[in-house]
Amino acid sequence: MSGEINIYGVFVPSVLGWMLIAFAITTGLRMLLGRSGFYRLVWHRSLFNLALYVIVLGGTVSLIHWLQS
């Protein structure tokens, strides 16, 4: 597996693509949690959102590595 993706001669780290996927998933989860009223139970919303993003990013990277194996 290459650590970079070639886009018209520009080498972009593959982590950037994984981060964009994780951001899209996290945005959907944040909207879902906001509509369900879950954020009333959270002490610090920004820290919770950051932790949620890190967890989703880790899951995304693990899933991609598992699929490539």
Give the per-residue pLDDT at 43. 94
The model carries a pTM of 0.86
Total count of residues recorded for the chain: 69
| Alpha carbon of residue 24 to chain centroid | 7
Coil, helix or strand for 3? coil
From first to last of its 69 residues, what are the pLDDT tens digits of the chain? 568 888 898 999 989 989 999 999 999 999 999 999 999 999 999 999 999 999 999 999 999 989 988
